[in-house]
Structure 1
Amino acid sequence: MASFSTSSARPYHIIIFGATGFTGQFVVEEVARTASEGPKGTLKWAIAGRSKAKLDKVLEQAAAVLSKPELASEVDVIVADVSEPDSLAALCKQAVIVLNCVGPYRFFGEPVVKACVENGAHYLDISGEPQFLESMQLNYHNQAAEKGVYIVGACGFDSIPADMGVIYTRDQFKGTLTAVESFLTASAGPEGGCVHDGTWQSAIYGLADSDKLRSLRKKFGHKPLPVVGAKMKRRGALFFSNEVQQYAIPFMGTDPSVVKRTQRYLHEELNETPVQYGAYAGVGGISNLFKLFFAGMMFWILVKFSFGRNLLIKFPEFFSFGFFSKAGPTRKQMEGSSFRFGFFGEGYTEGVDPTEGKPNAKIRTTVQGPEAGYVATPIAMVQAAITMLNESKSLPKTGGVYTPGATFAKTTLIDRLNKHGIQFSVL
Structure 2
Amino acid sequence: MATETSNRAYHIIIFGASGFTGQFVVDEVARCTSKRSTDSFKWAVAGRSWERLEGVLNQAAERLHMPQLRTDIEKIVADVSNEESLAMMCQQGVVILNCVGPYRFYGEPVVKACIENGAHCIDICGEPHFLERMQLVYHSKAMDKGVYVIGSCGFDSIPADMGLLYTQQQFKGTLTAVESFLTVTTGPEGAVGHDATWQSAIYGFSDSHALRQLRREFGHKPMPVVGARVKMRGSVFFSKEIQQYSIPFMGSDPSVVKRTQRHLHEEEKHSPVQYSAYVGVGGLFSLVKLFCAGLFFRLMVTFSLGRKLLTMFPSFFSFGFFSQAGPTMKQMEDTYFSLTFFGEGYSEGQDNSHGRPNAKICTRVMGPEPGYVATPVAMVQAAVTLLNEVHSLPRRGGVYTPGAAFCNTGLIDRLNDHGIMFSVRSYS
TM-score by length of 1: 0.98
Q: CA RMSD in A?
A: 1.2
Change (3 A) 1:307 1:185: same
Given that residues 32 and 40 in structure 2 are in contact (C-alpha distance below 8 angstroms), is that contact kept between their aligned partners in structure 1?
no
Change (3 A) 1:40 1:420: closer
| In structure 2, distance between residues paired with 1:39 and 1:368 | 22
> How many Å apart are 1:209 and its aligned residue?
0.3
Distance (Å, rounded) in 2 between the aligned partners of 1:203 and 1:209: 10
Structure 2: stretches of 5+ with no match in the other structure: none
Letter in 2 for 1:12: Y
TM-aligned CA deviation for residue 191 of structure 1? 2.3
User: What are the residue-to-residue correspondences of 1:37-116 with 2, within 5 Å?
Assistant: 42-116=40-114
Distance 2:125 2:39 in 1: 30
Q: Deviations over 1:320-379 (max 9, x none)?
A: 111100000011110000000000000000011212100000000000000000000000
Aligned partner of residue 356 in structure 1, secondary structure? coil
Q: Which residue pairs with 1:260 in the alignment?
A: 258
Structure-2 residue corresponding to 1:420: 418
Pair 1:141–1:37, CA change in 2 (3 A): farther
In the alignment, structure 1 segments of 5+ residues that lack a partner are: none
Cα 1:277–1:36, aligned 2, differ >3 Å: closer, same or farther? same
Contact 2:261–2:273 (CA under 8 A) maintained in structure 1: yes
- In 1, distance between residues paired with 2:167 and 2:380? 23
CA distance in structure 1 between the partners assigned to 2:12 and 2:396 by the alignment: 21
Provide Cα deviations, 1:146-168, integer angstroms capped at 9, x if missing partner. Answer: 11100000000000000000000
CA contact (8 A) 1:131 1:206 kept: yes
**Counterpart for residue 29 of structure 1:** 27
Match runs of 1:356-395 below 5 Å: 356-395=354-393
Report if aligned partners of 1:85, 1:111 keep a CA contact under 8 Å in 2. yes
CA displacement, residues 115-159 of structure 1 (integer Å, 9 cap, x when unaligned): 000000000000000000000000000000011100000000000
Counterpart check, 1:142 vs 2:140: yes
Pairs within 5 Å for 1:221-240? 221-240=219-238
Q: Count the aligned residue pairs.
A: 425
The alpha carbon displacement at 1:289 in A equals 1.1
Structure 2-normalised TM-score? 0.98
Counterpart of 2:267 in structure 1 is 269
Partners in 1 of 2:232 and 2:128 — Cα distance? 21
Aligned to 2:204: 206
1:233 is displaced (CA, Å) by 2.1
1:89 counterpart SS class: helix
1:310 to 291, 308, 318: 308
How many Å separate the matches in 1 of 2:311 and 2:229? 40
Whether the 8 Å CA contact 1:6–1:13 is kept in 2: the answer is no
Name the SS of the counterpart of 1:248 in structure 2: strand
Q: Is the 8 A contact 2:173 2:349 kept in 1?
A: yes
Secondary structure of 2:349 counterpart: coil
Shift of 1:422: 0.2
1:9 deviates by 3.6
State the 1:42 CA deviation: 3.4
Distance 1:217 1:59, change over 3 A: same
Identity fraction in percent: 66
Aligned to 1:13: 11
**Aligned-residue offset at 1:95:** 0.5
1:120 aligns with 2:131: no
CA distance in 2, matches of 1:267, 1:398: 19
Letter in 2 for 1:64: E
Distance 1:234 1:5 in 2: 43
Check conservation: 2:79, 2:86, Cα contact below 8 A.
yes
**Which residue is 1:162 aligned to?**
160
Residue of structure 2 aligned with 1:286, choices 279, 284, 295: 284
| Structure 1 counterpart of 2:299 | 301
Q: Against the structure 1 CA distance between its residues 40 and 228, is the aligned structure 2 distance closer, same or farther, given a 3 Å change threshold?
A: closer
8 Å contact from structure 2 (residues 14, 96) kept in 1? yes
- Cα distance in structure 2, aligned partners of 1:343 and 1:240: 17
Q: Which of 210, 214, 237 is the aligned partner of 1:216?
A: 214
Deviations along 1:50-99, one digit per CA (max 9) or x if unpaired, are: 00000000000110111001111011000000000000000000000000
Give the superposition deviation at 1:37. 5.3
Following superposition, the deviation at residue 169 of structure 1 comes to 0.2
Q: What is the CA deviation profile of residues 256-303 of structure 1, one whole-angstrom value per residue up to 9, with x for unaligned ones?
A: 000000000000000000000000000000001111111111111111
Shift of 1:392: 1.2
Runs of 4+ deviating beyond 3 Å: 4-9, 37-42
